[in-house]
């Protein structure tokens, strides 16, 4: 299974987002990370559980959902975390 799909499945299972985009940006950082440190990923997530929560709490929720991958597969993670009311087309 590709790493992006694994991350997607973990986030969907843990946070139940209404919108989720996961991108592997590792190619943009070739030679940057030490071998075995994992990749560079970008996540855009819209989740009802984020409503009323500050940005830091939202990021912590994403990090917690990906805690296993953060130890081995993820070297860098860029997160955009929104509540449905903050995104007009969140569905």
Closest residue by Cα to residue 20 from 54, 39, 47, 45 = 45
The domain at 3-86 falls in which architecture?
2-Layer Sandwich (3.30)
Q: How much is the pLDDT for 37? A: 46
What are the residue boundaries of the structural domains of the chain, listed by start? 3-86
pLDDT mean across residues, the chain: 87
Instruction: Quick: pLDDT tens for 14-33.
Output: 999 999 999 998 766 555 54
Low-confidence ranges of the chain (pLDDT < 70): 1, 27-38, 90-91
Residue found under tokens 């709490």: 57
| Whether the Cβ atoms of residue 19 and residue 50 lie closer than 8 Å to each other | no
């Amino acid at each position: 299974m590709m790493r992006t799909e694994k991350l997607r499945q973990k986030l969907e299972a843990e946070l139940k987002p209404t919108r989720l985009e996961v991108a592997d940006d590792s190619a943009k950082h070739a030679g940057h990370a030490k071998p075995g440190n994992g990749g560079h990923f970008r996540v855009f997530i819209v989740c009802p559980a984020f409503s009323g929560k500050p940005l830091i709490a939202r990021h912590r929720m994403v990090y917690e959902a990906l805690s296993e991958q953060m130890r081995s597969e993820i070297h860098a993670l860029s997160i955009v975390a929104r509540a449905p009311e903050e995104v007009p087309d969140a569905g």
